[in-house]
Amino acid sequence: MSNHSFRSEEDGGLTLAAHLERPTGGARGRPGVVICHGFPAGEGGGANSPATFPELAARIAREMGWVALVPAPRGMPGSDGFFSLDGWLEDVLAAARHLLDDQGASGVWTAGFGTGGALAVCAAAADERIGGAATLAGPADFADWAANPRRLLLHARDAGVIREDAHPDDFDRWTRALSSVAAERAADALAPRPLLVVHGTDDEVVPPLDARAVVAAHGGGDLRLIERAGHHLRHDPRAIAILLGWLDRQRRLADGG
């Protein structure tokens, strides 16, 4: 996946792998989007893991003229460190800063799937330079993870984002992040900047009620429920069409159109 790298400066600085797609003519002065993948499901990842996201980034660059960055957050192949939820949030923020400060993007938005969707909302809420956020099949919070952090630690090792010989230096801090990072709370801080929430009515992993909760917390979010769609919206052309249409509207609004 990786054809690029950037730095996330928290905890002394980590080098993270990424996939970067620039439109014809380069990134400077173009709108930018950080695309956040979901948590990999087991060995080799799942349908929301990074494998197909460079294709989406290339389409956004080619068809829409945006610069698109898919970060591989800490612990993912090619990146330093190991998974923590607050660490992944910092990596999304670092990716947005990289597009603005180093690539010269005219503006930046965040979009994500699953876990990445929740982090896209939280990152946009934390940095006022981010123009808005889109979450697809994202949870309202991580209460399920927070209820059993040791099970999550084992799951993260199975997924390869925490090595067998690695262990969080401060397990209590690692655990607290599972409760402190929540898209539902962040959505309130994000308002009135734009929020898109896309969810499948048949999502078997994250209930559609989570989508409604995030939109309600924002107060003006754009909720799109896709009939009979499951959790893996990266592979649903209806969801991708909604996302691309929303990004196009953000660009026109930013241009005063």
User: 6: alpha, beta or left, given left = phi > 0 and alpha = psi -120 to 50?
Assistant: beta
Q: At 168, which amino acid appears?
A: P
CA distances for 168 relative to 9, 75, 207, 253, angstroms: 18, 12, 30, 43
φ, ψ for residue 10, nearest 5 deg: -65, 150
Task: Say how far apart CA 236 and CA 70 lie, in whole Å.
Answer: 19
Task: Say how far apart CA 85 and CA 101 lie, in whole Å.
Answer: 24
What pLDDT does residue 186 have? Answer: 98
Closest to 193 in 3D by CA, of 244, 250, 112, 257: 250
What pLDDT does residue 49 have? Answer: 59
Q: Specify the DSSP class assigned to residue 47.
A: T
pLDDT at 153 over 80: yes
Mean pLDDT of 220-243: 97
Band of the pLDDT at 92, cuts 50, 70, 90?
very high
Task: Say how far apart CA 121 and CA 109 lie, in whole Å.
Answer: 10
Alpha-helical segments (H) within the chain = 53-64, 85-97, 115-126, 143-147, 149-159, 171-180, 183-190, 208-218, 237-254
pLDDT at 248 over 50: yes
Task: Say how far apart CA 86 and CA 24 lie, in whole Å.
Answer: 35
Domain 4-254 has CATH 3.40.605.10: no
Say which residue, 10 or 24, is predicted with more confidence. 24
Residue with tokens 């956020």: 133
Mean pLDDT of 158-165: 87
Closest to 187 in 3D by CA, of 252, 254, 141, 243: 141
